[in-house]
Each structure stands twice: as structure tokens, then as C-alpha cells.
Amino acid sequence: AAGVIQSPRHLIKEKRETATLKCYPIPRHDTVYWYQQGPGQDPQFLISFYEKMQSDKGSIPDRFSAQQFSDYHSELNMSSLELGDSALYFCASSLAGGPSTDTQYFGPGTRLTVL
Amino acid sequence: AQSVTQPDIHITVSEGASLELRCNYSYGATPYLFWYVQSPGQGLQLLLKYFSGDTLVQGIKGFEAEFKRSQSSFNLRKPSVHWSDAAEYFCALNTGTASKLTFGTGTRLQVTL
């Protein structure tokens, strides 16, 4: 079965640079979530989109922005990168519509290293 | 606000032994509950989920979990652990359709041969 695709898998940036992470949800899924996982920590929710509209917002810095496009893929844009942004960034997708379908499936993650 | 507590940061079991990982939650109603497993540097794989109905749920890889409303718990169990089960296990909840997941801090499972 098709899974969530994230690209790139690894990214190395310098401080103050920008980065763009991409997420392609499971086909037919209409909701996308972004999570950040620091070393040895649990994933923290950043932002989510349902039918191309922002549906919820967590602890996402103002330097970060995201959107969901007409084909349901999503991009997380990160500017003025800081050392503390180094983390694993996960995308998850789900199909809204009730408990039986509304389960989040995670991609493999993008490991961002800021030097 | 909702929260998830996993009291055990690290657990070591022998291969073939039984396993129970604890998870407690705090939420004003019955949440949707999940267990995910993560191998080092990898993504999160769904093991099982509870929405309603039968309080004992079966998952993949021989795992099961039991929802106990009176104890606000959703403990994960496996009767016989395999070396390949060594990983980080996260309990999580959300509160409805298209809502964010709130994770516990995780339990790292080590399996000795």
C-alpha cells in the first residue's frame, strides 16, 4: 500500500538559511499534519491542514510557514534557520470523516541538520 | 488540555518474556488512543488504536492493548517479546476528527537475548 512520502530525507543547512520540506500524503487522504521531533524527545505538533485550509496550529515558530496544495501535498517552509531547528520533521496524513478512518499515518521523516 | 504519561522511560526484558508498557492519559472525555513504534532514526509505525467498543484491541506484530476508563489507562502488552521488538514506543491520543496527536514521552524497550 502507498505510504506517506517525504522529501528530502536528509537536509543540511547553515544558520540563517531557508529550507523547504515536502510531504505527499497517502492517496485520498485529505488531512496533513506536521510534527517536529528533537533528539530523544516525543513528536511535537506544528500545524495541520484539512482540505487545503489550516485546521490547527501548535508550537510552530513564526519563522515557519506551511501550506497544502490542490493535489493535497504540503510544504513546510522554514526561514532564518537556527541551530535549535535541527530535528526530525514528520508529516502524517489521514482521511477525515470519522473514527474508523481518521488515523494518522506517518512518513519516514526529514532529518534537518543546521550547522 | 489533554496529556499522556508514560511512566517508564526505559524497560529491559528478555527475549520470550512478556511485556507490558504503561500509558495513562488525562482528558475530560474518552479520547482516541494509539500506540506507535519507532526504530532509531525511523518514522512512526502504528501498532494499534482504540476509538470505542471492545476495550481490548489487537494490533500488528502480536501486540494488544486494553483501555480501562476507570484507570485512564491504555497499556500495551505482548505475551512473548522478540529481539526485533527493541524500539521506542509512544502512546498518543487525539480528541476527534482531524485533531492533532498528543504524545507521551515514550518508552525505550531493550530486549536481551
What digits encode the pLDDT tens for the residues B49-92? Answer: 998 888 999 999 999 999 999 999 999 999 999 999 999 999 99
What digits encode the pLDDT tens for the residues A76-90? Answer: 999 999 999 999 999
What Å distances lie between residue B75 and B33, B54, B79, CA to CA?
Answer: 10, 14, 13
> Å from A52 to nearest chain B CA?
13
- Asked if the Cβ–Cβ distance from B43 to A56 is below 8 Å, we say no
- Asked if the Cβ–Cβ distance from B97 to A96 is below 8 Å, we say yes
Give the N- to C-terminal CA distance of chain B in Å, as an integer: 41
- Asked if the Cβ–Cβ distance from A31 to B44 is below 8 Å, we say no
- Asked if the Cβ–Cβ distance from B97 to A42 is below 8 Å, we say no
pLDDT at A97 over 80: no
What digits encode the pLDDT tens for the residues B15-33? Answer: 999 999 999 999 988 889 9
Which of B51, B101, B102 lies closest to A99 in CB terms?
Answer: B51
pLDDT at A99 over 70: no
Cell 501550506 belongs to residue = A67
Angstrom distance (rounded) from CA A74 to CA A85: 19
